[in-house]
Structure 1
């Protein structure tokens, strides 16, 4: 086991009791962005975790829900996209001091935006919406003409659209996932919605889904059930391999919740947390001979965020650091520590406390009374 130790911790000067929802690269190698329950969009330095700027104090009128990078070949660094419960999608330039978005797009009926995907090379931003008036939409905009959407699919899902992801190599192929249990794969060049659907996977209420490779799709439900499915070729009617169903990962990986997948030059890992044991494991997901978890090569974040749930991870390969944020209102930076790989969890907790106390950041809110609201039990479905 490779152990990671916390080297810095910060509250980002957020109000007491805040949750930090998500992290994204702002200026690669320099700063990261975070969205939180106070509706702010903040930048912080990757070395010190000190706040660089508050891009927006009020990112969306009724609460920010999602954050992603707008990056690609030929695009300028520092562009971020947010979605909110006000039905707005906003493009921000973090280098600007105006506090205003560069562009703003609006969903039909101001349906809350729950998921985003961007393909900067083709100027596309896509949003998945909450179910409103029996309709949940996947909406496409070309940022060169943001006033009106370019395309919209409104019949493929009948509940909240919680996940969107573009295919890694095929620019016109998009995946969507929903709490209706379905994952759909579309060809965006086809405007007729029925004809545009290339593949449908029925898995269960989708927390996350995406492409593991050109030919493999993973599905993760809100009750932590996990499967891997081969992509299908509409022009090939031959029977292909079936899905690999791992079932409930809480049993399979001895965890309590799953955060996300994390892909790097070292492959794909699944981030699985355990608040009782105060740890978060990065478990390699290996493709050969068939997709399986390599539990003999786990990387462990010792102490994690204590008894609080981690909401998001970001891997900075340039600095060799992992960044986490969570329901304790903290961002933490982690570095590998080979010497501590064999220490027990109690020693890890002592080490974490020592590191945190040596920083000049506000103390972790470990002892505050946690509100018993829906966020604690359904942490990834922001309401």
Structure 2
């Protein structure tokens, strides 16, 4: 996290300021990310919806979840080498992640309310199942999930069902007859969100801190060591939109992207976002129509010099893709990505090799590398606009489970 914090200090997000020619001269020139590897995973017009990977080296692994409910695993070295295809899922996949501590364990979450762990050493055998097996027997369809940094706790966010939206928790270490359909559910929260829980993100180093986002517009932060949901809810931020994805910038700040293709940066104590970039801000080229632009993911990583937003535009001339830095309260292209052939749905970075992996609607996996060293941007400070207003009032909640 320390590297990310230092790189964030070089960002300059300041309302009411305009960049000068001198500012522009201090910014390193644009470079290209060139296509290093390409693999067409499916010939049946299946989308690749999600991608995840391991930070192992020199070879690393990536997992790609397809719209036909399958998941394909590749080893990436000097080439892309397919390892195995997992076909045990019968319903749409809502997330896929490698274990934080093992490149051989892959978790997939599906809309039918189940999370499975597969061992790639055993030909993808399902070695653990996590689902809501409470007495009422009613399935709570999952919309998101995450695993904490110690690989001990799984959180699953559900769709709005039965009048509630749940965040459910399982202890991965609990191995008492996991495969015998016994109840391994720890409990859950159900009063902090009023609609589908679309994204969950554990803190990268604090195993008991979880952030959640929902189509109700709220981003919540929880301290899971607390005895009740009301005490656990330490922060609630209203994006006034519908949250698509979120992640951690620093120990006390978050980024989120919305379903209306807006990027917001938040301090967890703030009453409003200290930086907001709408779809029109993505049209950094004169030839871009804002309606054709879309967000993929914000990467809070130092791999390319500082955090960046991956964004694209779909035009009659082709599928454009670029990395955007934040400079003087606007987005500027720092890396053009050439030879992209598809609308990109998800992306992931291997930080040791600075490889960017993208997947999308033509069923293609692309691996991109820099063609030249990225010049460092001039040092500048990330200014957070923190309101002195009171935080959102919260009603008392009963103890969950």
1:17 counterpart residue number: 45
- 2:187 aligned with 1:151: yes
Q: Distance in 2 between matches of 1:294 and 1:15?
A: 36
The answer to whether the 8 A contact 1:283-1:293 is kept is no
The Cα shift of 1:215 comes to: 2.0
Q: Distance in 2 between matches of 1:51 and 1:87?
A: 28
Cα displacement string for residues 209-250 of structure 1 (whole angstroms, at most 9, x for unaligned residues): 222111211222100122222123xxxxxxx68532424134
The answer to whether the 8 A contact 1:26-1:79 is kept is no
1:103 counterpart residue number: 128
Q: Distance in 2 between matches of 1:27 and 1:168?
A: 14
The Cα shift of 1:68 comes to: 1.5
Q: Distance in 1 between matches of 2:280 and 2:75?
A: 34
1:271 counterpart residue number: 310
Cα displacement string for residues 163-206 of structure 1 (whole angstroms, at most 9, x for unaligned residues): 11112333221100001111111111123112211111111100
Q: Distance in 2 between matches of 1:252 and 1:27?
A: 30
Q: Distance in 1 between matches of 2:168 and 2:160?
A: 13
Deviates more, 1:203-212 or 1:19-28: 19-28
Alpha-carbon distance change, 227 to 63 in structure 1, aligned in 2, over 3 angstroms: closer
Specify which of 47, 52, 60 is matched with residue 83 of structure 2: 52
The Cα shift of 1:260 comes to: 0.6
Q: Distance in 1 between matches of 2:66 and 2:271?
A: 42
Deviates more, 1:211-220 or 1:316-325: 316-325
Cα displacement string for residues 30-86 of structure 1 (whole angstroms, at most 9, x for unaligned residues): 3211110121121123232232211x123x222222111221xxx333222110011
Q: Report the count of equivalent residues.
A: 319
- 2:150 aligned with 1:113: no
The Cα shift of 1:264 comes to: 2.8
1:368 counterpart residue number: none
**TM-score, L = length of structure 2:** 0.74
Alpha-carbon distance change, 194 to 18 in structure 1, aligned in 2, over 3 angstroms: same
The answer to whether the 8 A contact 1:26-1:94 is kept is no
Cα displacement string for residues 308-334 of structure 1 (whole angstroms, at most 9, x for unaligned residues): 320111222333322111001111122
2:261 counterpart residue number: 224
- 2:252 aligned with 1:215: yes
The answer to whether the 8 A contact 2:262-2:295 is kept is no
Alpha-carbon distance change, 264 to 110 in structure 1, aligned in 2, over 3 angstroms: same
- Structure 1, unpaired ranges of 5+: 233-239, 340-383
The answer to whether the 8 A contact 1:167-1:175 is kept is yes
The answer to whether the 8 A contact 2:149-2:207 is kept is no
Q: Distance in 2 between matches of 1:247 and 1:212?
A: 16
The answer to whether the 8 A contact 2:213-2:220 is kept is yes
**TM-score, L = length of structure 1:** 0.77
Specify which of 243, 266, 269 is matched with residue 206 of structure 1: 243
Alpha-carbon distance change, 213 to 180 in structure 1, aligned in 2, over 3 angstroms: same
Q: Distance in 2 between matches of 1:122 and 1:31?
A: 18
Task: Kindly indicate whether structure 1 or structure 2 has the higher relative contact order, using CA contacts under 8 Å at least 6 residues apart.
Answer: 2
The Cα shift of 1:148 comes to: 2.5
RMSD over aligned Cα atoms: 2.4
- Structure 2, unpaired ranges of 5+: 1-29, 285-289, 374-401
- 2:323 aligned with 1:282: yes
Q: Distance in 2 between matches of 1:214 and 1:249?
A: 27
The answer to whether the 8 A contact 2:151-2:172 is kept is no
The answer to whether the 8 A contact 2:170-2:185 is kept is yes
